Amino acid sequence: MKIGFDSEKYLREQSQAIIERAGKFDDKLYLEFGGKLIGDFHAARILPGFDPNAKIKLLQLMKDKVDIVICIYAGDIEQKKMRADFGLAYDTDTMRTIDDLRERGLSVRAVVVTRYQDQPAVNGFIKKLSRRGISVYTHRPIEGYPTEVDTIVSQSGYGKNSYIETERPIVIVTGPGPNSGKMATCLSQVYHEQLRGVRAGYAKFETFPVWNLPLSHPVNIAYEAATADLGDINMVDPFHLEAYGETVINYNRDVEIFPVVKRICARIMAPEQLYKSPTDMGVNRVGFAICDDDAVCGASKQEIIRRYFRYSCDYASGTSDKVPADRVKLLMDDLGLSEHDRRVVAPAREAAKQAEKQPDKGSDNVFCGAAIELPDGRIVTGKNSSLFHAASSCIINAIKAMANLPDDLLLLSPQVIASVSKLKKDIYHNHYISLDLAETLTALSVSMTSNPAAELAMNRLNELHDCEMHTSHMPTPGDEMALRKLGIRVTSDPQFARRGLFTE
């Protein structure tokens, strides 16, 4: 992988910028942390060299100065909204984040459930946290939000919200995903601080879009692709252009809400602290740490193609409408990109065609192929059979290739495969008995004790992290879980691996 981003420089400059911004406020800064606090894999994919846990490291650099508050929208808990990169629901991801922060010597001051309306599922989440010693606050919807400023900045608006007790001069307000209520929580706190005679302020830390890169830069277009399901559109910040005569990039939601935010801030912040543009509100040095523009452009274009496949699969599975995929397709067209600019796509589809020709066609009735690009650039394929899913065959072939083992060498004994298949058929009563990737890796680990070649191959699994992979079908849950744990960047054609509507 060609490095295009200097993560150490970024950490130095970003932490300094945050401390300098906090210095503009006499007593306290509420800093909205956008994006993923832990595991920002979107940034890592489009900025080769970016540390996915850069935000955590920023907090560790400033841990004596910061308190942390996590916001989660009650509706996301009720609807079991998922964080796709980890396969976790937002409420579960919030608890995981608290654990991860503790392990790094950082504590969460409170969790705020926003737009709370007494939902039973939400009450269960609150009880679970409260009984484990986590302070939980609830903020109910404010009538007329966000346009009725007189109501919002009053005892009928922010005044009804519980005040969150904090101690340190910088309060980081974060959440598991977009629309978690982070900005509203920050401004509510600044309102309450004002009533207490505390001179507090607000700012935001968003990694994307990158304000000092052009509108048409692939890094910014990749952000637009990543948020196509939200309808985000990058645009020139008109308020910044008018105030300073400088062209900078922001996105539609921040630009649209800025007049309201400006009016709210005028009520709760000192005049010298007020912002002239939504870009002014931001504290972001990511654009200054790009050290190889060609590398980040190439990585960003690959991410746009990955997003297209993901949204296409979401549409096929019924979890999304077609609009996000169509939006990303337009972005691809603008950049002159096609599906085949992703190197693993054509080999995976060819492997599926080869599966159709094999004598052992298996019991799935769908011919599936997979291809992975190894760290040295080689592409290895696999296809499904009565014994293995295509993903299983592909990964086995990949680690054999990296371990320089013969292609026809058996890593799993027929007896082990038969035992697992028998378990699935006779005990679990599964109709499909070929091994998915999770089952295959478990069987491989068992085989290590008696097969030195299996151990050699197994030891190469970690090298697959960040490798690119494509499958001609959408992976089954066992395949998807194992691929995620291996850290493989997988895309899929929007095709089902089985003809049946029910999968076990």
SS3 assignment for 135-161: CEEEECCCCCCCCCHHHHCCCCCHHHC
Which strand (E) or helix (H) includes residue 30?
strand 28-33
Q: Specify the pTM.
A: 0.90
Q: Is 159 a domain residue?
A: yes
Whole-number Å distance between alpha carbons of 296 and 42: 12
Q: Is 309 a domain residue?
A: no
Structural domain boundaries, residue 209 = 7-289
Question: Are residues 157 and 11 part of one domain?
Answer: yes
Question: Are residues 224 and 87 part of one domain?
Answer: yes
Q: Is 429 a domain residue?
A: yes
Question: Are residues 349 and 445 part of one domain?
Answer: yes
- Note the pLDDT tens digit of each residue in 292-349: 999 999 999 999 999 999 999 999 999 889 999 999 999 999 999 999 999 999 999 9
Question: Are residues 69 and 162 part of one domain?
Answer: yes
Q: Pick out the chain residues at pLDDT < 70.
A: 359-365, 426, 431, 499-504
pLDDT of residue 500: 62
Of the residues 249, 273, 289, the one at which a domain ends: 289
Question: Are residues 114 and 256 part of one domain?
Answer: yes
Whole-number Å distance between alpha carbons of 75 and 443: 41
Helix (H, G, I), strand (E, B) or coil at 176: coil
- Note the pLDDT tens digit of each residue in 379-401: 999 999 888 999 999 999 999 99
Q: Is 302 a domain residue?
A: no
Q: Is 384 a domain residue?
A: yes
Q: Is 501 a domain residue?
A: no
Question: Are residues 350 and 268 part of one domain?
Answer: no
Reference 11, options 65, 64, 51; nearest CA is 51
Q: Name 156's Cβ contacts closer than 8 Å, sequence gap at least 6.
A: 142, 143
Contact 41, 87 (CB under 8 A): no
Tokens found for residue 420: 């697992």
pLDDT of residue 273: 87
Q: Is 38 a domain residue?
A: yes
Question: Are residues 433 and 351 part of one domain?
Answer: yes
Of the residues 289, 310, 330, the one at which a domain ends: 289
Question: Are residues 244 and 155 part of one domain?
Answer: yes
pLDDT of residue 361: 53
Helix (H, G, I), strand (E, B) or coil at 171: strand
Give Rg (Cα) of the chain: 25
Tokens found for residue 168: 């340190």
Phi-psi category of residue 421: left, alpha or beta, with phi > 0 → left and psi -120 to 50 → alpha = alpha
Q: What is the CATH number of the domain that holds 85?
A: 3.10.630.10
- For the chain, the distance separating the N- and C-terminal CA atoms, rounded to the nearest angstrom, is 38
pLDDT of residue 199: 92
* Interior/surface letters 478-498, b for 16+ CB within 10 angstroms, e for the rest: bbbebbeebebbbbbbbebbb
Q: Name 125's Cβ contacts closer than 8 Å, sequence gap at least 6.
A: 77, 91, 113
Of the residues 274, 289, 304, the one at which a domain ends: 289
Please give, one letter per residue, the 3-state secondary structure of 370-395.
EEEECCCCCEEEEECCCCECHHHHHH
Q: How many separate domains does the chain show?
A: 2
Question: Are residues 241 and 355 part of one domain?
Answer: no
Whole-number Å distance between alpha carbons of 293 and 131: 49
Whole-number Å distance between alpha carbons of 11 and 61: 9
Q: Is 336 a domain residue?
A: no
Whole-number Å distance between alpha carbons of 145 and 275: 21
- Residues forming beta bridges with residue 250, ordered by sequence position: 235
Cα angle: 355, vertex 385, 423; to 5 degrees: 165
Contact 174, 94 (CB under 8 A): no
